[in-house]
């Protein structure tokens, strides 16, 4: 019985560290993510994207939030983050197309509803199993 208790304690100690969630914040290059082969293939040339800015003459249709997660198991944080960033961008693009718009402007990171505006970087949170990106932007019609 003592052996069983001792073995149970040892196993609990070994596996408890696996259960602790990792949540590493990364600020990664928008340009690098937008220039991947996947992004070039999957983002519609008819919808333009503007980070942390809105061009003059934009007619606001609505605002949108894309909060996406992806499986990060066995991937580097950077690879998982680029993939989930693309997923969020596709969601914003799809919303723009649905609304009859041709642009998404003023795109900002919006992880856990904390707004972070940057023309150069997006925020991604990566753990041992999942990675997540949340983006918020304005769906607009540009002239």
Q: Report the CATH number that the domain containing residue 74 is assigned in CATH.
A: 3.30.110.70
How much is the pLDDT for 2?
Answer: 54
Domain that holds residue 39: 22-141
Helices (H) and strands (E) in the chain, counts: 4, 6
What percentage of the chain carries pLDDT values higher than 90?
Answer: 83
Least-confidence region, from 2-6, 42-46, 127-131: 2-6
Predicted confidence (pLDDT) at residue 88 exceeds the cutoff of 80: yes
Determine, yes or no, domain membership for 92: yes
Determine, yes or no, domain membership for 10: no
Determine, yes or no, domain membership for 11: no
Helix (H) or strand (E) holding 2: helix 2-19
Cα three-residue angle 28-22-30, rounded to 5 degrees: 10
Assigned token pair, 37:
């082969």
Q: What is the DSSP letter of 21?
A: P
Asked if 136 and 107 count as a contact pair (C-beta separation under 8 A), the reply is yes
What's the domain count of the chain?
1
């Amino acid at each position: 019985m003592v052996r069983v208790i001792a073995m149970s304690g040892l196993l609990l100690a070994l596996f408890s560290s696996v259960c602790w969630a990792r949540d590493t914040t990364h600020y990664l290059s928008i340009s690098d993510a937008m220039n991947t082969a996947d992004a070039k293939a999957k983002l519609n040339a008819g919808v333009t994207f503007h980070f942390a800015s809105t061009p003059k003459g934009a007619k606001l249709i609505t605002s949108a939030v894309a909060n996406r997660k992806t499986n990060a198991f066995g991937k580097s944080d950077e690879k998982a983050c680029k993939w989930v960033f693309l997923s969020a961008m596709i969601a914003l693009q799809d919303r723009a197309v649905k609304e009859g718009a041709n642009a998404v402007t003023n795109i900002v990171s919006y992880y856990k509803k904390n707004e972070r505006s940057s023309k150069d970087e997006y925020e991604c949170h990566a753990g041992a199993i999942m990675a997540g990106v949340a983006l918020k932007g304005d769906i607009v019609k540009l002239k």
